[in-house]
Amino acid sequence: MVSISAHAQWAWIGKDGSKVFSDRAPPVDISDQQIFKRPSQVFVVAPTVRGGQSASSASPMASVPVAAQAALSASKPSGIDKELAQRIKNSEQAQAEKRRADEEKLAKVKAENCDRAKQAQASFESGSRISRLNKQGIREILDDTERSAELKRIQSVVQSECN
């Protein structure tokens, strides 16, 4: 006894004469005359020859002109799941937005660093005394060599952050 599934799209007469129902295409050794049910969206584009049959008897599309066959094959579904394609598109958009937000955040941080470096540069170039705390917490006044070394470092920061 063969159980007929509601999802079966293919049906054919098997080698032993029994009816076979499946969601997959029959094996290649089953001729087109043995197939009595096909999925509704499957189109035969080119004539196929099975078991020594002629091309005209092997395919129901053999008598259809090539231009019509091309039109039928163009209407064949692409195999792409629309929901999956939409999810992929949404994911790509979300990634692009995140990337844009990260770039904007990085640009803002870079602009703030540039402003601070320019202020420090202006302070060092003003000629006023600059002091800082050493490791012991004692205030020290920078001498000329320390001042010029710090000014060079600040200028390199200005060049890297303000471009």
How far is it, in rounded angstroms, from Cα 71 to Cα 69? 5
The pTM of the full predicted model, rounded to 2 decimals, is: 0.42
How far is it, in rounded angstroms, from Cα 108 to Cα 65? 64
How far is it, in rounded angstroms, from Cα 87 to Cα 45? 32
C-alpha torsion sign, points 54, 59, 65, 69: negative
| Pairing mode, strands 35-37 and 19-22 | unpaired
- Domain residue spans in the chain? 82-161
pLDDT per residue rounded down to tens, the chain (163 residues)? 455 545 658 888 998 889 998 888 888 888 888 888 888 754 444 555 555 554 444 455 444 555 455 555 555 455 668 888 899 999 999 999 999 999 999 999 999 999 999 999 998 888 888 888 989 999 999 888 989 899 999 999 899 888 7
Q: Which DSSP category does 126 fall into?
A: T
